Amino acid sequence: MYVLSYVGTGRSVSNFRLDLLDPKGNFLSRSTGLAAAHLVVDKWRTAYTLNYETIVGPGGRVEPTVSQWLPSAPSES
């Protein structure tokens, strides 16, 4: 399960986070600094976020940005 949330006021990128949970709801990992408004996950567990960051598109039109987050295997220690 992917949980997109924020702490504090949500005015700083560092307030935003993405938590990964296993099917039983146990915490697996956390990514911070993910300032996203929406999240969608495909069947390969690739997450896509609609970000609060904007860019200037064609004709000077302000547009949102989209990011892709790929799952990675846990590292062996």
Q: Is residue 64 part of a domain?
A: yes
Q: Is 16 exposed, middle or buried (0-12, 13-18, 19+ CB in 10 A)?
A: buried
Q: Quick check: is 76 in a domain?
A: no
Q: What is the pLDDT of residues 21-70, one digit of tens each?
A: 999 999 998 888 888 889 999 998 888 998 888 889 889 998 888 988 87
For residue 37, the model assigns a pLDDT of 86
**Would residue 17 count as lying in a domain?**
yes
Please give the pLDDT value at position 35. 82
Residue numbers of the domain that contains 42: 2-69
Query: What DSSP state is assigned to residue 10?
Result: S
Query: Is the model's pLDDT at 15 over the cut of 90?
Result: no
Domain count of the chain? 1
**Reported confidence tier of residue 76, pLDDT bands at 50, 70, 90:** low
